[in-house]
Amino acid sequence: LDPELNKLNPSEVEFKKSDLKLLGWLMLRFFSMTKFIRYREYTNNDGERLISTTNFTIINTVLCWFGPLHEETLSRIIILIQIVLGSLLTFFIRYYLVKFFYDS
C-alpha cells in the first residue's frame, strides 16, 4: 500500500539466485515474458546475485498489468475476471466436455 496515493502495489519476494533450480528459473522467465509477474536480477552489496519477483497471485498479476490501483478498482477488476473466466469455463464444460460423459 502506498499511503500517499492510497493505492496498492504488487508484493514482492527476493531470494538468492543460487537457491533457484533450472525449472524454477525457466518458469520465472516464462511468466515474466508473458507479463504475469515482474522479475529482476541484481547484485547486493555482498556480491551475491539476488532475484526479486512479484508473488504468483491473481491480485499481483492484475497490479502488474495495470499498475498501482485503489483497492475498490482492483476488486472490481478481479471480480470481472472471475465472472468472465468462470462463464467461459462453464460453457466449455457444458458444450464440449459433456460429449465425453453422455451420448448425444
Q: How many domains does the chain have?
A: 1
- The answer for 35, left when phi > 0, alpha when psi is -120 to 50, beta otherwise, is left
pLDDT tens for residues 37-78? 999 999 999 989 999 999 999 999 999 999 999 999 999 999
pLDDT tens for residues 81-101? 999 999 999 999 888 888 888
Identity at 77, one-letter amino acid code: I
Is residue 7 domain-resident? Answer: no
Specify the pTM. 0.77
Structural domain span for residue 44: 12-100
Is residue 4 domain-resident? Answer: no
pLDDT of 21 reads 93
Is residue 3 domain-resident? Answer: no
- The whole-angstrom separation of Cα 59 and Cα 77 is 9
104 has pLDDT over 70: no
